[in-house]
A and B are shown apart, each in its own frame.
Chain A
Amino acid sequence: MTTGPTKRDYSLLGRDAQAAVANGLAAAEWYHTEIPRKQMKELMKREDGPAIRDTAVWLGSMLILGALGIYFWGTWFAVPFFLAYGVLYGSASDSRWHECGHGTAFKTMWMNDAVYQIACFMIMRNPVTWRWSHTRHHTDTVIVGRDPEIAVMRPPDLIRLVLNFFGLIDVWYAMIDMLRNAFGVISAAEKTFIPEMERPKAILVARIWLAIYLATIGLSIFLASLLPLMLIGLPRLYGAWHHVLTGLLQHGGLADNVIDHRLNSRTVYMNPVSRFIYWNMNYHVEHHMFPMVPYHALPKLHAMIKHDLPAANPSILSGYREMIPAFLRQLRNEDYFLKRELPPTAKPYREEFHSEPVAAE
């Protein structure tokens, strides 16, 4: 008997959420490559130096580029400065939010917390809500109905993906969420992963942000100029493309409902500029397997465990060359996914819960 593709229900309160809990996919024990404790301790070791240097370069560059953008405002010379400023605001903030949320970027916790708050504001992600949603993402990575951070659901909404290169969909929903939270409302889905004691903090942050955006809009009206919004808010739109470009590669086109990050995450070799903006999150299998390892130690971790992982994609282009056709196939068959070959030195995949017949080798 043949069966059609499985329609997925991504709601955190829906059918697949209940099924994941019932069949053991939720909060499961995931596959890990074995690393001796002494080496693992070395990899996990925290430092302030690399992140202080990178943060100084990041915020210092924004200051200079923003100042040059203001200086040349009204001429075409301002364009390249704002394009670069926008990427640092609307894309580099994504990786800073992420890494500081894990608390691994800096050794000193207040530094993680300070950069986390700044980056959350830029990327328009409520620091409370998203800390908890990302916790769930690590517990139940790409488990349908459990993971609130699945960027590409099946069948893929390609129009949404393209619009998000300019932040349009994400910002629309971020604004709605901010307004809703500012009025004291936590949604039913948010309640599934934010503990009750944390909810007032989410509301307070939303109110502070709303005040900042209203002040910026007010200043723009007062000056009869778009300039204040070009510096605060709009860069989340015109500078979002790089974080979407790199972020889609994290899990796009790969398996869902599995408990082996080698099946649902992708490591991609990238150029140094993208790696700076992305803070080494191109080593994504490694990050998911060992979230305690700071971004600056991920290349070392990769070298240590690559014998147990599918070969990394050699470039962003190579990643898109396998991912886009997979998205197109998923339009016709939601069950289709890419399954990369493991090297002979690797342990076999953990394939429980996996729909073998539709995998593409």
Chain B
Amino acid sequence: MSSNWVEVCAADEIDEEDVIRFDHEGRTFAVYRSPEDEYFATDGLCTHEQIHLADGLVMDDIIECPKHNGRFNYKTGQAKGAPVCVNLRTYPVKVEAGSVFIAIS
């Protein structure tokens, strides 16, 4: 499956240990900046009840859904327990010339 790199935003538009929502061609993504200043991306909606994760809380490598407090590791997409049971899909991310790009397949 081929991927194309899509520009999300300037790297400094995402606070450290935070997340933003990114919509592209009818799809929604969550793009994260970790406390270690690394960038990650996942699908934007919680796999439990389709809530936007960008309204949630980033704690270390965890994103917590704002509706039911379901937790995922946003680096791997792994669901960390009830009420989330299905992993999040993750996407490659790169930072070039001060901008964040994600690879959307």
Interface of A is mostly: helix
C-alpha gap A290/B55 in the complex (Å):
10
Give the Cβ gap from A293 to chain B, nearest Cβ, in Å: 10
Q: Which among B23-31, B59-67, B88-96 touches the partner chain? A: B59-67
Q: Which residues of B contact A350 (CB under 8 A)?
A: none
If the complex has contacts A41-B57, A292-B57, are A102 and B69 also in contact, measured as CB distance less than 8 A?
A: yes
Give the Cβ gap from B63 to chain A, nearest Cβ, in Å: 11
Q: Determine whether B35 belongs to the interface, using a CB cutoff of 8 Å to chain A.
A: no
Q: Which residue from chain B places its CB closest to the CB of A107 in the assembled complex?
A: B59
Interface string of B59-88 (1 = CB under 8 A from A): 100001011110100000000001101000
C-alpha gap A230/B50 in the complex (Å):
46
C-alpha gap A104/B59 in the complex (Å):
12
Q: Determine whether B49 belongs to the interface, using a CB cutoff of 8 Å to chain A.
A: yes
If the complex has contacts A139-B49, A292-B57, are A104 and B82 also in contact, measured as CB distance less than 8 A?
A: no
Interface string of A26-44 (1 = CB under 8 A from B): 0100000000000011001
- Cross-chain contact of B56 among A102, A195, A292 (Cβ < 8 A): A292
Chain B interface residue count: which class? 10 to 19
Interface size on A, residues (CB 8 A): 22
C-alpha gap A195/B83 in the complex (Å):
9
Determine whether the beta carbon of A44 is less than 8 Å from that of B85: no
If the complex has contacts A41-B57, A195-B85, are A103 and B69 also in contact, measured as CB distance less than 8 A?
A: yes
Determine whether the beta carbon of B57 is less than 8 Å from that of A138: no
| Inter-chain pairs besides A45-B57, A107-B59, A198-B85, 14 sampled, C-beta below 8 Å | A27-B50, A40-B55, A41-B18, A46-B57, A103-B69, A103-B71, A139-B68, A195-B85, A198-B82, A290-B66, A291-B67, A291-B69, A292-B56, A292-B64
The 9 nearest A-B residue pairs measured at CB: A44-B57, A135-B83, A103-B69, A135-B68, A102-B69, A292-B66, A131-B82, A292-B57, A195-B85
Interface residues of A (CB under 8 A from B): 27, 40-41, 44-46, 102-104, 107, 128, 131-132, 135, 138-139, 195, 197-198, 290-292
